[in-house]
């Protein structure tokens, strides 16, 4: 069933995501890989990022500009981010209160099958 192969390319993608801790677009990761000598086709970068995201291994979100940005996250569970809009560095944050509030509110309005997005952007201490 899970005929999951381990290719050089997939390892290169995972590994570069782990070396850098910030959110970057597929195109940026692709460029970084090329610079580092570990060339990987753009299509493969997209495919791999998507697979990893589906697995929950990495996190995706949309930058204010509307493009998808990816990063490796330590916590496997559900969490949100506090992202520096200048340098891309991100903190993982837990938001139990918010979880509770959204699900209560949604229920109050008769909504079911609820999901939510919450991202916080700002300027980190270093970039101020």
Q: Cβ(100)–Cβ(108) under 8 Å? A: no
Which x/- pattern over 9-48 shows residues binding a second copy (rule: CB under 8 A)? ----------------------------------------
Which of DNA, a second copy, none does residue 9 bind to, with CB < 5 to 8 Å depending on kind? DNA
Q: Cβ(44)–Cβ(58) under 8 Å? A: no
Half-sphere exposure of 84 (CA within 13 A, CB side): 14
Q: Please report where in the chains the tokens 């290719």 appear, as a residue.
A: 7
Question: Which residues lie closer than 8 Å to 87 by C-beta, 6 or more apart?
Answer: 22, 124, 126, 127
Contact between 25 and DNA by CB under 7 A: the answer reads: yes
Which of DNA, a second copy, none does residue 26 bind to, with CB < 5 to 8 Å depending on kind? DNA
Which of a second copy, DNA, none does residue 110 bind to, with CB < 5 to 8 Å depending on kind? a second copy
Q: Whole-number minimum distance, CB 118 to DNA, in Å?
A: 20
Q: In this structure, what token pair is assigned to residue 76?
A: 């496997």
Q: In this structure, what token pair is assigned to residue 38?
A: 């570990």
Q: Which residues make up the interface to a second copy (CB under 8 A)? A: 62, 66, 68, 82, 84, 91, 93, 95, 97-98, 101-102, 105-106, 109-125, 128
């Amino acid at each position: 069933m899970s005929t999951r192969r381990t290719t050089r390319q997939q390892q290169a993608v995972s590994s570069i995501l782990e070396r850098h801790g910030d959110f970057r677009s597929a195109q940026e990761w692709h460029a970084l890989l090329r610079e580092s000598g570990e060339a990987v086709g753009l299509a493969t970068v997209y495919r791999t990022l998507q697979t990893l995201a589906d697995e929950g291994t990495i996190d995706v979100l949309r930058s204010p500009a509307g493009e998808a940005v990816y990063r490796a996250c330590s916590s496997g569970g559900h969490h949100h981010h506090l992202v520096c809009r200048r340098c891309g560095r991100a903190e993982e944050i837990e938001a139990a209160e918010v979880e509770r509030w959204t699900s209560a509110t949604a229920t109050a309005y008769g909504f079911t099958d609820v999901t939510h997005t919450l991202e916080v952007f700002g300027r980190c201490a270093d970039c101020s």
